[in-house]
Amino acid sequence: MNMTAWMKKGWSWLRTHMDPRLFMMLMAIVVGIFGGLAAVLLHHMIEMVAGLFSGYRQRAWSFLLPAMGAAAAVYFMEKIVREGGGHGVPEVIYAVSRHGGLIRLRSTFSRIFASSMTIGSGGSAGPEAPVVMSGAAIGSNIGRILGLNERQRVVLVGCGAASAIGSIFNAPVAGMVFTMEVLLGQWRSSHLLPITLAAVTGTQLSRRLHGNQIPFESAIFGIQMHDTLASAGLALITAVVAIGLIRGMRRMHGLSLFLASRCHLSPWTRAGIGGLFVGMIGIFFPVVLGEGYYAVREMIAGEFSSGIIFVLVILLAKMLATTFTLGWGGIGGIFAPSLVMGAMAGLLYHRILVFLFPAVGWVNEGCFALLGMAGLLAGVLQAPLTAIFLIFEITGGYEVVLPLMVVSAFSTILCRYGEPHSIYLKDLVARDELLRPGTDGRVLLDLRISEVMEKDCIPVQRNMLLRNFIHLLKNSRRNYFPVEDAATGRFVGMVHLDDVRPYLLDQMLYDTVLMEQLMHRNVMVVHPDDELGDILETMDRLGLFSMPVVADHRFMGMISKATLLDHYRKELRVQTSDE
C-alpha cells in the first residue's frame, strides 16, 4: 500500500471514528493557522509597499502614488487573477447564504496583494475586509478539499474570517463576534465553539510572529456619570456620519460607473482616477492617506492638537478620500476608515461639549475618540456587539465599556432610520440576494422543483373520449390530468375533475365528448428553472393550489402547495436544528 492510500485510509478512519464536533474543532485549528498567516502576510505586505513608496513621499509628484497603487491593484485583480473588484465581504455573505460557503480558490490570496498595493500607496482603505475574504476563502477551500458537507464548510468559512480578524486586530473575541453577527447572521453553539477556537489560534499565531501589541493603547480616563450620558449625544453624530459614509460610497460608486461607461474607462483607470483625487486631498490633509491609525493613536492619547473647524474639515476630507478610494473601485475595506472617522467624530463632539459647557469636568478627549470609533463602526456595520468588543479589545481598557455600550447601541438604532441595512448588506438586499438561515427564502432555496414535483399524474390525449377517461379515472387518485397532443407529445392543457363532473351522469355524452373540449388551454405553467418563491407568489396571487411543470412543451409533473409545505417543514427543521 503506498503513501497516498495510507493517508486516504487514515483520513477515512478519522472521519468515521472521530466525534463530529471534535473533528470540527480540529479543522478550526487548521483553518485558524492559515487565516492567521494570511493576516500576518497582509500586514507585512502593507508595510513593505508603504516602505517602498516612503522614499518618494517628499517628491512633488507624490500625490500620484495613491493613483498608481489603486490602478495597479485593480489591474492585478482584473488581469492577473481575473477576479473583479470590491472588498469581498458581501461576496462571503452571499456564498454563505446561497452556496454553502463555496468561494473561489484565488480569493485566498488575491485581495491580500491588491489591498496592500492600495493601502500601502496611500489609498484611504483598511485591510480588514480583504483579510476577511482571504480567511473565509481559506476556510471554504480547506472544507472543499477535505470533502466536508455544506454546513461544515460554512463553519470553516466563519473560522477563517474570525481568525483573520482576530489576528489582524489582535482581538479574538471581536473576530468571533464579527463572524457570528455580520457574516453568518446566526448564533449557534455548534458554530460558536470552532469559530472561537479558530479566532484564538489565529490571534495566538499572530502574537507569536508579530508580538502581543495592543493597536491603540488607552490611558485611565476616570469616566463619570455625565460622560456616560453625553455619549448618547455622540451616537447621534456617529449615526449621521455613518449614514453620510454609506450614502457617499454608494453615490460615488454610481458616479464612477456612469463616468466610466460614458468615457469608456477601464476598471483600473477608474480606480486610478479615484486614487488621483485621494492624492490631491492628501496634499492638503496627509492624515487621510492610508489606514490612518497613527492619527487615531494621537487622538486617543489626547495629542491631536487641531481646533474644532479643522477636525470637522479633516473628517469630511477623510470621508471624501474613502469614497474616492473605494467608490471608484479601489481594493480595500471600510473598517479602518470607519475607525479613523469615528475617532475624529468623537474628538469633534468632545470639543463641542467643552466649548458649550466649559465648566463641566469632561473626561479626556481620547475617551470620546474611542467611543466615536465604536459608534461609527456600529452604525456602518450595523453590528453593535462587534464594535463594543473590538474597541474593548484593541484598546485593552475595560473602563470605557459602559459608554461604549450606550454609544454603540444608540448609533446602530439611529443609523437604521437613515440606512436600514449595513454597508455590507445594502447591495445584497437591493439585489434580493440576502438569505439568512431559517428564513423563508433560504428554506425555499434548498428545495428543488424536482424534489417537490408530484409525478403520479396520468396524462391523457386530447382526442381521448370521455368514456375512456372515466375508465382511467377509476385508477387515479389525482384531480388534475394533463392533456397532451398524441402526435407531438406536447402539453396542450389541463382537465380538472370538476370540469368532468357535469358530464358524468349523462352516458349519452360518453362517446361524443373529447378531452380537448373539456380542457383548460391557457394554464399557468411552471418551468423547472423557476424559483419556488416565485411559484408560491404566483399561486397566492392567482389563488391556485397546484400548477403543472412543463419543459420543452412536455408535461413533467405537478407542484402543489400541500406537498411544498410538507417539504418546507422538513427543511426548516434541518436548517434550524443545532446538530
Partner 1 sequence: MNPRFFHVYQDTPAGREALLQTVFFCRMLGAAPVVYIPETPRFLMYFENRVVQVDLDCDPSDLKKRARWQARASEILAGSGLDAHFLQIHHRTTPELPDVPVDFDYMSCPVPASARHFVYSDLGMRRLPAVAPFSVLIPALVARGWKSLAVFYGGDEKKEGVLAAGLAMARNTGLPLDVFTRGPVPVIRSASFKAHVRHVVAGNKGNDFWMDVPPEALMIVGASGKGWFRERFFSTFKKELRSSLPGTCVFVGPQAQESYMRIWERETDS
250 lies in the binding site for partner 1 (CB under 8 A): no
Backbone phi, psi, residue 554, to 5°: -115, 140
Q: Is 440 in the site for partner 1 (CB under 8 A)?
A: no
Least Å distance, CB 147 to partner 1, is 7
Question: Exposure pattern of 324-342 as b/e (b: 16+ CB <10 Å)?
Answer: bbbbbbbbbbbbbbbbbbb
Which lies closer to partner 1 via its Cβ, residue 57 or residue 448?
448
Minimum CB separation from partner 1 for residue 157, in Å?
Answer: 13
* Closest CB to partner 1 among residues 108, 196: 108
Find the binding residues for partner 1 in span 514-543 (CB under 8 A).
528-529, 531
Dump the DSSP string for 235-287: HHHHHHHHHHHHHHHHHHHHHHHHHHHHHT--HHHHHHHHHHHHHHHHHH-GG
> Counting contacts by CB under 8 A, is residue 556 touching partner 1?
yes
CB 115 within 8 A of CB 332: yes
Q: How far is the CB of 7 from partner 1 (least distance, A)?
A: 16
Instruction: Select the span of 89-97, 200-208, 222-230, 511-519 touching partner 1 (CB under 8 A).
Output: 89-97
What's the min distance (Å) between Cβ of 70 and partner 1?
17
Asked if 84 is part of the footprint of partner 1 (rule: CB under 8 A), the reply reads: yes
Q: How far is the CB of 257 from partner 1 (least distance, A)?
A: 9
Contacts to partner 1 from residues 39-58, by CB under 8 A: none
Contacting range for partner 1; rule: CB under 8 A; set: 272-280, 287-295, 363-371, 547-555 = 547-555
**Within positions 407 to 436, which residues make up the interface with partner 1, using CB under 8 A?**
427, 431, 433
CB of 100 to partner 1, least distance (A): 9
In this structure, what C-alpha cell is assigned to residue 406?
450606550
Quote the least distance from Cβ 357 to partner 1, whole Å: 48
Quick note: the x/- pattern for partner 1 over 130-159, rule CB under 8 A, is --------------x--x------------
Residues in the chain: 579
What is the rounded distance in angstroms from the CA atom of residue 385 to the CA atom of residue 393? 12
What is the grid cell recorded at 267?
Answer: 476598471
Candidates 92-100, 355-363, 396-404, 496-504; binding stretch for partner 1 (CB under 8 A): 92-100
| 124 closest CA partner among 305, 315, 285, 278 | 278
Residues 6+ apart with CB under 8 A from 364: 219, 221, 302
| CB 111, min distance to partner 1, A | 13
Q: Please tell me the distance from the alpha carbon of residue 183 to that of residue 200, in angstroms, as a whole number.
A: 18
Q: Is 254 in the site for partner 1 (CB under 8 A)?
A: no
Handedness of CA 414, 416, 418, 419 (dihedral sign): positive
Distance CA 35, CA 166 (A): 9
Could you tell me the three cell numbers for 559? 407542484
Nearest approach in angstroms of CB 82 to partner 1 is: 6
Q: Rule CB under 8 A: is residue 104 a binding residue for partner 1?
A: yes
- Shorter beta-carbon distance to partner 1: residue 94 or 285: 94
Q: How many residues bind partner 1 (CB under 8 A)?
A: 26
Contact window for partner 1 (CB under 8 A) among 84-92, 186-194, 457-465, 511-519: 84-92
- In angstroms, the first-to-last Cα distance of the chain is 36
- Contacts of residue 109, defined as CB under 8 A and 6 or more positions apart, other chains included, come to 38, 81, 134
Q: Is 456 in the site for partner 1 (CB under 8 A)?
A: no
User: β-pairing, 554-560 with 480-484?
Assistant: unpaired
Is residue 551 within the footprint of partner 1 (CB under 8 A)? yes
Grid coordinates standing for 424?
455590507
Instruction: Name the pairing type of β-strands 480-484 and 460-461.
Output: parallel
DSSP lists the bridge partners of residue 333 as 126
The answer to whether 198 and 35 have CB atoms below 8 angstroms apart is yes
Q: Which of 297, 436, 554, 561 binds partner 1 (CB under 8 A)?
A: 554
Count Cβ atoms below 10 Å from residue 380 Cβ, excluding itself. 31
Q: 207 or 490: whose CB is closer to partner 1?
A: 490
Spatial separation of the C-alpha atoms in residues 503 and 463, rounded to whole Å: 16
Calpha distance 324→249 (Å, rounded): 8
In the complex with partner 1, the residue whose CB is nearer, 427 or 454, is 427
- Least separation in angstroms between residue 107's CB and partner 1 is 10
According to the binding rule CB under 8 A, does residue 455 interact with partner 1? no
Interacting residues toward partner 1 by CB under 8 A: 82-84, 86, 90-91, 94-95, 98-99, 102-104, 106, 144, 147, 427, 431, 433, 528-529, 531, 551-552, 554, 556
